[in-house]
Amino acid sequence: MPETASTTRAPDALLPSLAPLLHEWLPRQRWFAGKGRRVTGFTLDAATELLPLDGAGPGLLHLLVRVEQPSRPAGTPADCYQLVLGVRPQLPPRLAPALIGRIRQGPLAGRAVYEGLRDPRLAGLLYERLRTPGRTGPLRFHATTSLPPALAPRMLDAEQSNSSLVYGDSFILKIFRRVSPGANPDLELPLALAGAGCARVPAPVAWFESGASTLGVLQPYLRDSRDGWRLALDALADGREFTAEARALGRATAEVHLALASALPTRRLGRAETERLAAAMEHRLHAAAQAVPALLPYVPGLRAVFAAASGTTGDGVVQRIHGDLHLGQTLRGSDGGWAVIDFEGEPAKPLDERRSPQPTVRDVAGMLRSFDYAARTHRPWNADWAARCRAAFCSGYAEAAGTDPRADPALLRAYETDKAVYEVVYEARHRPDWLPVPMSAIQRLSTSP
């Protein structure tokens, strides 16, 4: 498709006319990372009309907008967000829940602006652009295979840090809301795994980007699969063991790690690096204890955990990993096979950090914490169920990897402790009723040998 004009009206007039609406709407979105901090202004990085805005039908406006918040750390750029806005003279009743507001002044005065991803016509246009690789203004669209036409879209409501559209139960498009320069790991790693022949991860079939930033990735939708979190909760509710599933999931995780190590560079893990890792963990611990005083009695024991890991090297290698692995990032198909999804890492962390090589035990620790969380949802608290799942997962991992993650208990325990400390702060701020879950791990990790 030939390149088309990306901005048919002056950005200097467009953004001020949208700003009053964005001031109200953006902080309410689940994917907005700057909650609780004052928004003082906006800067437009790019504006692209994917459908004309001044016709009788809906227009589609793609924006990359920087949100100014003076409380951000010194020297860090303002967060950039991807917005996909529909524009209509009148909004039909079926789209009323998607309304952002009506523009009062400027080039779009009098028109209704709304969340474009909730409009099937506009969401369908995004898919059609992915089917026809090429360029529209600053946006570049890529595809690795021929895609079927005219698949009906629906927006998923479960995502928090991003937005996703399912097309005809065949493909899922993840839209990254907060974007940074550089390849997003959720595109980079699945592409590398597909090249390595790893079938544990759905291979990207299309994506789009602007400059150096990945904006969205289209992958096969595993419609007959169920996520590991729901499966674990069902097993608990039915009084069933989950060790066979946990063992198989451990094997799948190891296969992904092995494929990543074969497809992307690895390097040796030195003692100085683990000393820095342990020091960073201790720093996060003290900050967490100031925020959540319930941690204070356990600080000496937790510091000892980090001290024991300082200078250890585990298996001596760091590589690309998932970065945010837990039961909710896994899918089990009708054939019983496990798939791993969502390689973006922790969205709150800088992209460079998420793309850096790390010890594989970090992913293992994340999954071990997830088994604890699942077991805690059961009444009474089923600690033995979690312990059996944790052991089975590590055994399955060892079967596939040839090395047991428990072979270096100090580093594994340090990563699990660091994760539990993070969870304490999160739960104290957002879900106080869940605080006993990580606190029980804190007690165990701070006292057990």
pLDDT tens digit string along 109-122?
Answer: 999 999 999 999 99
What phi-psi label fits residue 273: left (phi over 0), alpha (psi between -120 and 50 degrees) or beta? alpha
Per-residue pLDDT band for 13 (boundaries 50, 70, 90) equals: confident
Residue 314's pLDDT is what? Answer: 66
Residue 11's pLDDT is what? Answer: 61
Compute how many other C-beta atoms are within 10 angstroms of the C-beta atom of residue 270. Answer: 13
Averaged confidence pLDDT in the chain: 93
Q: What is the mean pLDDT of residues 12-39?
A: 91
Q: pLDDT higher for 155 or 77?
A: 155
pLDDT above 90 for 415: yes
Per-residue tokens: 23: 């001031």
Phi, psi of 164 (to 5 degrees): -135, 145
Per-residue tokens: 282: 């201790």
Residue 3's pLDDT is what? Answer: 36
Residue 72's pLDDT is what? Answer: 72
Residue 1's pLDDT is what? Answer: 33
Report helix, strand or coil for 234. Answer: helix
List, for residues 311-361, the tens digit of each pLDDT value: 786 668 999 999 999 999 999 999 999 999 999 998 878 899 999 999 999
List, for residues 142-179, the tens digit of each pLDDT value: 999 999 999 999 999 877 789 999 999 999 999 999 99
Q: pLDDT higher for 350 or 190?
A: 190
Residue 349's pLDDT is what? Answer: 85
Q: pLDDT higher for 213 or 430?
A: 213
Minimum mean pLDDT range among 299-303, 394-398, 433-437 = 433-437
Per-residue tokens: 103: 């523009």
- Listed as own residue / partner, the contacts of 59-63 with beta carbons closer than 8 Å and 24 or more positions apart are 59/86, 59/87, 59/88, 60/84, 60/85, 60/86, 60/87, 60/116, 60/122, 60/125, 61/85, 61/86, 61/87, 61/116, 62/139, 63/18
Residue 289's pLDDT is what? Answer: 97
Tell me what percent of the residues of the chain surpass a pLDDT of 70. Answer: 96
Per-residue pLDDT band for 2 (boundaries 50, 70, 90) equals: very low
Residue 9's pLDDT is what? Answer: 52
Tell me what percent of the residues of the chain surpass a pLDDT of 90. Answer: 83
Residue 5's pLDDT is what? Answer: 39
Residue 70's pLDDT is what? Answer: 87
Phi, psi of 225 (to 5 degrees): -100, 160
Distance, in Å, from the CA atom of 396 to the CA atom of 133, rounded to the nearest integer, reads: 41
Report helix, strand or coil for 224. Answer: coil
- Of residues 351, 392, 348, the one with CA closest to residue 368: 392
Distance, in Å, from the CA atom of 242 to the CA atom of 262, rounded to the nearest integer, reads: 30
How far is CA 7 from its chain centroid? 30
pLDDT above 70 for 257: yes
CB 220 within 8 A of CB 171: yes
What's the chain's Rg over C-alpha atoms? 23
Residue 7's pLDDT is what? Answer: 45
Residue 315's pLDDT is what? Answer: 66
Per-residue pLDDT band for 67 (boundaries 50, 70, 90) equals: very high
Residue 4's pLDDT is what? Answer: 39
Q: What is the mean pLDDT of residues 371-381?
A: 90
Place of tokens 């069933």: 240
- Of residues 78, 75, 119, 76, the one with CA closest to residue 97: 119
pLDDT above 70 for 435: yes
Phi, psi of 131 (to 5 degrees): -70, -25
The tally of CA atoms less than 13 A away on the side-chain side of residue 384 is: 4
Per-residue pLDDT band for 379 (boundaries 50, 70, 90) equals: confident
Minimum mean pLDDT range among 3-12, 88-97, 301-310 = 3-12
Residue 12's pLDDT is what? Answer: 67
Identify the DSSP state of 326.
-
- Of residues 195, 190, 262, the one with CA closest to residue 222: 190
